[in-house]
Amino acid sequence: MNKLRFYLTSPLVILVVIVALMFAMNLLVLGEQWQWGHNFFLLGICSFVIVYILASFMLSGGVFNIYSMEVGDADAPRLLVFSYWCLSFLGLVLSCYRIYRFGINGPLEGGVLFNLRYVYIWGHESNYGAQHFSLFALCLALYYAQKKRILLCIVTSAIYLISALSLAERTSVLFLFVSVVYTLFYIGWVKLKGLLVFFALLVLIFCIIAVATGRAGGEKGFDFLYSYFGYAVTALSTWMDGQAGKGCADLILGKVVDILSLGLYSCVPFDVGFADDDFNVLTYASSPYLAGGVGAVIISMAVLGGWYACLRRLACLHGGYFLAMLSCYVYALVMVFYAWQFSLTTYVYVGLILLPLFYRQRSRPTEPELNQGL
C-alpha cells in the first residue's frame, strides 16, 4: 500500500475531512453563526481523535508503521457462495415485489419513489424481509471487491441498491457506496479520479430520490444538499441545549441493551419536540447527549476511537474479514454530520454473514514498508 492511500483510508483522516467539510458548509455556505453546538460537537470528535491516536501508537508497539494490505488468497466454499447468491436473489425478488405493489400501484399519485417512501415512513408496510436478505448481496459485494472480481461486485451491489430503492432510503444507498468504494480504493483498484466518479453518481442518486420523494427543498431547489450536510450542528444548538439525560441508554447501544437485559430493560422514548416543518437532523452527538449529557458523548466517542484503531490495525495486518468490517464501519464515520449510526444492528448481521466467506482465508502479516504515518 502506498503512503497516500494509507493516509486517505485512515478512519482518523476520514473523520477529520468530513467534520471540516461539514463546518465549512455550515459556516461559509449556509452562513450560520458559531454556537454552543459547534463546541459540543467538536468535543466528542476530539475525544475520538485523541484515543484513536493513542490506541494506534500502543497497538503498533510504540512506532507508527504502515503495512501492506493482505487480502487472503483462499476462496470461500462454492456451496456457501451459491447459497448466498440464492438468498440475495430472494431479497431481489421481494424488493421488486415491494416496488410493484407499493410503488407502481401505490396509494398516491406522487410517483414510484414517493409512494415507496410514504408507505415506509407513514404506512408502516412490511418490506417482507427484503433488506435482511439483501445483506447477503452486500457481503458478496465486499467479498468480490477484495477478490477484484469487479463484474460480480457490481451485480451484487446492484441487488442491494434495488433493495435500498424499494424503501427510497438514502442512508442505505450511502452505506453501500461507502463500504464497497472504500474496499476498492483500499486495495488500489479505484484511484482518486474513480472516487470522484463514484461521488458524483452518489449525489445524482440522492437528488433523484429527494426530488421523487418531495424532499428537495421546495422552491429552494437543491438547497437541501447544503442543509442535509451542514445545518445539523446548528440544529443541535437549537434543540439540544439543556436537555441532557432525558433519553434512554438504547440511544447509544441500540438493541444491544435489550438483548443484554433479557428484555427486562425498558424506557420511555424521548420526544425532542420538532414541529412538522423543522429540520430534524441533529448530528451524531444528540443521541449520547440525550442519554447522559456531555460525559456520555466524551466516553462513547473515546471508546469508539479505540475500537476503530483496533479494527484498522487488524485490517492492515490481515485484510479479509477485518477489512470488510472496517469498510462497513467507515459509513458511521461519514454519517457523523447526520445522526448516531454506530449502534445499528446491521453491523451485527453483516459481521455474522461475512464470517463464513472469509473463514478459510489465511493472511500473512508483512514487514513494515514505511516508518511514519497513522
Amino acid at 94: L
Q: CA triplet 117, 119, 120: central angle to 5 degrees?
A: 60
What cell does 256 get? 444491544
pLDDT for res 171: 84
pLDDT at 68: 47
Spacing of C-alpha 242 from chain mean position:
29
C-beta separation of 137 from 91 below 8 A: yes
| Residues 38, 15: Cα–Cα separation, whole Å | 16
> Is 316 within 8 Å of 69 (Cβ atoms)?
yes
* Amino acid, single-letter form, for residue 311: L
Distance of CA 31 to the CA centre of its chain: 27
The per-residue pLDDT string of the chain (374 residues; one tens digit each, 9 = 90 and over) reads 577 888 889 999 999 999 999 999 999 998 999 999 999 999 999 999 999 999 998 887 655 555 445 555 568 889 999 999 999 999 999 888 888 777 777 666 667 766 777 666 666 666 667 788 999 999 999 999 999 899 999 999 999 999 888 887 788 888 999 999 999 988 888 777 777 787 777 777 767 766 665 655 545 555 677 888 888 999 898 888 777 777 777 888 887 777 777 766 767 666 666 655 556 788 999 989 988 889 999 999 999 999 999 999 998 888 899 999 999 999 999 999 989 999 888 899 999 999 999 876 544 444 443 333 45
Where do the domains of the chain lie? 3-61+75-358
Kindly give the residue spans of alpha helices, DSSP state H, lying in the chain. Answer: 3-8, 11-24, 36-59, 78-98, 112-121, 130-147, 150-165, 170-186, 192-212, 224-230, 232-240, 250-253, 256-260, 286-318, 320-334, 345-358
Q: Cα–Cα distance between 63 and 370 in angstroms, integer? A: 11
Q: Tell me which long-range contacts 116-125 makes (C-beta under 8 A, separation of at least 24).
A: 116/165, 116/166, 116/167, 116/168, 117/167, 117/168, 117/169, 117/213, 120/167, 120/168, 120/169
Residues 6 or more apart whose Cβ sits within 8 Å of residue 44:
284, 285, 288, 297, 298, 300, 301
Strand partners, 66: 370
Alpha-carbon Rg for the chain in angstroms? 21
- Whats the size of the chain, residue-wise? 374
CB 299 within 8 A of CB 50: no
